[in-house]
Amino acid sequence: MTGSSPQPLLGPVERIVLVVAAIVLAVVLSTMRGGLQSASPLEQLARQSLEPEVALSNGRPTMVEFYADWCQVCREMAPAMLKLERSTQQQLDVVMVNVDNPRWQDLVDRYDVNGIPQLNLFDANGDAVGRSIGLRREEELSLLANALIQGSPLPSLQGLGRVSERDDESPLQASLTAGPRSHG
């Protein structure tokens, strides 16, 4: 063996070409995955969601969606919800409540969430006016939003229930005193 040092595998030109190729590949992959905003519509909605208390007290009608990250129907409905949220800004608040987050357990109990996605609909005064469980298509969401914004009656849609407040007890008290398993 002689005292010469081994030759590098790549010369300076090859290194530069390799770095440029890596950058181009990273940009292409990032673009294919949704660019810099690669968050799913569900994640985008959750990230920009108002706190429920704020939404229900700011003088705008509100649509609260109870959801879970693992819920396929919630993910399927999310693009339409995101479009609705963007098209009705300053007219309607869209609030996202993750049922798997212990922080929201009081709301899950208060609004008797027993299926997701569940939409709870509130007028501009923060009063509950309706509830829907299950998938809602873009057209149905638009009809609901327009009714809430205009303060008009909710449309007649399959699976949509209207809510009326009882004067003698709150909905939470009612659910605690008499439920489907209550044999008093």
Tens digit of pLDDT at every position of the chain (184 positions): 555 666 667 788 888 988 888 888 887 776 665 555 558 999 999 999 999 999 999 999 999 999 999 999 999 999 999 999 999 999 999 999 999 999 999 999 999 999 999 999 999 999 999 999 999 999 999 999 999 999 999 999 988 887 755 444 444 333 333 333 223 3
Q: Structure tokens of 10?
A: 């790549």
- Return the domain boundaries, the chain: 41-170
Cis ω for the linkage preceding 117 (within 30 of 0): yes
Residue type, 97: V
| DSSP three-state, residue 89 | coil
Which member of 74, 96, 97, 129 is catalytic?
A: 74
The count of other CB atoms within 10 Å of the CB of residue 171 is 15
Structure tokens at 93: 């608040």
Which residue among 42, 63, 71, 107 is the active-site one? 71
Tell me the fold of 41-170. Glutaredoxin (3.40.30)
CB 62: neighbour CB atoms within 10 A? 23
Whether the model clears a pTM of 0.85, i.e. scores above it, the answer is no
| 74 classed as catalytic | yes
